Amino acid sequence: MSQMFQLMNQVTKEAVSCLKQDVYSVQETELDRKDYCTRFTNDVIASTAFGLQVNSIKDRENHLLSDGQKVD
């Protein structure tokens, strides 16, 4: 469990830094919350279950995310 927490914490830090970067780069930013949460969840699952760092928040053309969305 502690290893999972460390992985989730790392994904969270990357997500927050990306979010801050987006806010500072654009004056008026709209956030698609569903898309953001989907990407965040994808990163957490990929890192904790599979040991992969896919960084879906920055990489919008991520294969793991796009394949997962096709299943839905």
Q: What is the dihedral of CA 19, 24, 29, 31, to 10 degrees?
A: 10
Give the pTM. 0.79
pLDDT in tens, the chain (72 residues): 778 999 999 999 999 998 888 766 666 567 788 888 989 998 999 999 988 888 888 887 877 777 776 775
